[in-house]
């Protein structure tokens, strides 16, 4: 009776701490979401929206593919958002962050239910909020990878879709009369998603390649043939998208300006170095938040699982602990490969958002797996669980320290949005008065033009003129 009462008390405190921790992580996540309201068109956004305004959806896609870029799916999403008006751009980062959190929750709760980790939804919500926060907080360049429409669809929005695709595969059955139709739809989804960017396509192809290899080495392949079929469908869809992007005339124009890797060996060498450098310097430079992330994963598994689940045998946990770092490295290697081939360089910060998300999930999963291993070796007492619960509550205070910097960032975005609105007012007033060659006040996006002679020839100005359907726009600093 006493032991049962202690367990009930531990469970009650766990629920309280999970609710409190969820609130602590929700507050900065909410600020991240609300900052999306201050997003406006910048740089490439004018080009893509201008192309849509001038040529329409189908014509714009053809013009975009032939002369601007090979990322055909990205144009479709941009054009679709423009159907809802100019202000729709503000909702894209907001919805992307919300979608990320929901997808993470769905995946975590599905895993928890399948493996009997826990049945409490608040623990799944708490875990999802933790991961979403660290995705955003540790972002190499949140300004570009989340709060810029031209990049969020390349390097942030695809991740939750990939997670749901992987979850979908795990929920299928070997015997399915509708498999052919599902495989076709899955192929088309993989093709569309891979068309968002080469870096994401490499990540998607790498993820399903790892899943395929895991199937091939699994002892119960006869009961898991759906893993094989869906992985192959996803890989073929990814390859089809890469082929479409490779033969794009717009891609030929882009790669003509930079040197490509001369051999497969050079691509592998640069990608290996990029992956190793990113992992090492990212963790070393931000060791404290990564330590908090790892500790939360470790402690959460220790306190939330009452008994070592039968699904997680020690041999499975040892395999997971060994495989997770390898899988993280291979996926970041895949993400680095397109930049290594196309530019012989280290990926740009906005591209590294994909790598950061993989790294964050890997470190949290590694901590969680080690916690489960400890649970299977050492029988926890009610006292040790209460100490662990207190530590979780203490660590959950960490995101609150980000609120002040986030307030400063919010003020920056609000100020820039106000300046953008003033510039647009200048443009619309001049257009209303019959002007076709406009002169407006420059914003931060036009900083380069101070050193240029032909102001109207600056590519952002050209795209802005196309967006507003005028001859020229000159943006000058005052």
The pLDDT tens digits for 83-95 are: 898 889 999 999 9
Higher pLDDT, 1 or 195: 195
Helix ranges, 116-248 (H)? 121-137, 142-145, 149-155, 158-170, 179-194, 198-216, 225-246
pLDDT reading at 426 higher than 80? yes
Of 1-10, 131-140, 143-152, 291-300, the one with minimum mean pLDDT is 1-10
pLDDT reading at 1 higher than 60? no
- pLDDT for the residue 161: 96
pLDDT reading at 215 higher than 90? no
Is residue 203 within 8 A of residue 334, CB to CB? The reply is: yes
Q: What percent of the chain has pLDDT over 90?
A: 46
pLDDT reading at 467 higher than 90? no
Average pLDDT (140-149) is 90
pLDDT reading at 28 higher than 70? yes
pLDDT reading at 374 higher than 50? yes
At 353, list the tokens.
Answer: 């958002």
Mean pLDDT over the full length of the chain: 86
**CB atoms inside a 10 Å sphere around CB 458:** 18
At 4, list the tokens.
Answer: 């049962």
Helix ranges, 35-137 (H)? 44-63, 72-82, 88-115, 121-137
SS3 306: coil
pLDDT reading at 445 higher than 70? no
Backbone phi, then psi, for 172, in 5-degree steps? -80, 165
Cα separation, 339 vs 277, in Å, equals 15
SS3 26: helix
Q: How many CA atoms lie within 13 A of 447 on its CB side?
A: 2
- pLDDT for the residue 322: 93
User: Would you report the helix, strand and coil content of the chain in percent, each value rounded to 5?
Assistant: 80, 0, 20
- pLDDT for the residue 314: 82
- pLDDT for the residue 447: 39
Average pLDDT (160-168) is 95
pLDDT reading at 45 higher than 50? yes
Higher pLDDT, 381 or 113: 113
Higher pLDDT, 185 or 175: 185
SS3 63: helix
pLDDT reading at 282 higher than 90? yes
């Amino acid at each position: 009776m006493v032991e049962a009462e202690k367990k009930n008390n531990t469970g009650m405190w766990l629920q309280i701490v999970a609710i409190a921790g969820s609130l602590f992580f929700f507050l900065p996540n909410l600020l991240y979401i609300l900052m999306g309201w201050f997003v406006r068109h910048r740089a490439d956004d004018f080009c893509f929206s201008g192309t849509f305004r001038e040529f329409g959806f189908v014509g714009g896609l053809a013009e975009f593919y032939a002369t601007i870029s090979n990322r055909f799916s990205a144009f479709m999403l941009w054009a679709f958002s423009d159907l809802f008006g100019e202000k729709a751009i503000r909702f894209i980062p907001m919805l992307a962050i919300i979608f990320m959190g929901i997808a993470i929750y769905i995946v975590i709760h599905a895993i928890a239910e399948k493996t009997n980790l826990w049945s409490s939804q608040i623990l799944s919500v708490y875990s999802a909020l933790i991961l979403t926060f660290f995705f955003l907080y540790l972002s190499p360049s949140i300004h570009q990878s989340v709060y810029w429409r031209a990049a969020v669809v390349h390097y942030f929005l695809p991740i939750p879709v990939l997670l749901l695709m992987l979850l979908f595969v795990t929920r299928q059955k070997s015997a399915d009369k509708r498999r052919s139709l599902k495989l076709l739809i899955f192929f088309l989804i993989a093709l569309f998603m891979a068309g968002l960017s080469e870096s994401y396509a490499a990540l998607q192809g790498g993820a399903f390649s790892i899943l395929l290899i895991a199937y091939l080495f699994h002892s119960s392949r006869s009961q898991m043939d759906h893993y094989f079929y869906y992985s192959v469908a996803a890989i073929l869809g990814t390859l089809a998208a890469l082929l479409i992007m490779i033969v794009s005339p717009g891609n030929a124009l882009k790669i003509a300006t930079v040197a490509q890797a001369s051999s497969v060996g050079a691509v592998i060498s640069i990608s290996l170095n990029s992956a190793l450098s990113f992992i090492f310097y990212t963790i070393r430079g931000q060791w404290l938040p990564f330590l908090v992330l790892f500790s939360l994963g470790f402690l959460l598994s220790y306190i939330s699982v009452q008994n070592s689940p039968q699904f997680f045998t020690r041999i499975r946990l040892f395999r997971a602990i060994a495989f997770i770092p390898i899988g993280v490295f291979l996926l970041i290697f895949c993400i680095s490969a397109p930049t290594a081939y196309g530019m012989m360089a280290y990926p740009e910060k906005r591209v590294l958002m994909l790598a950061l998300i993989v790294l964050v999930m890997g470190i949290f999963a590694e901590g969680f797996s080690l916690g489960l291993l400890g649970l299977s070796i050492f029988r926890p007492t009610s006292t040790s669980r209460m100490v662990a619960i207190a530590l979780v509550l203490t660590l959950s205070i960490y995101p609150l320290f980000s609120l002040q910097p986030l307030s400063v960032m919010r003020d920056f975005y609000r100020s820039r949005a106000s300046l953008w609105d003033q510039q647009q007012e200048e443009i619309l007033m001049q257009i209303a008065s019959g002007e076709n060659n406009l002169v407006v006040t420059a914003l931060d996006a036009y900083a380069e033009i101070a050193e240029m002679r032909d102001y109207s020839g600056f590519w952002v100005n050209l795209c802005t003129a196309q967006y507003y359907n005028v001859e020229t726009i000159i943006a000058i600093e005052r």
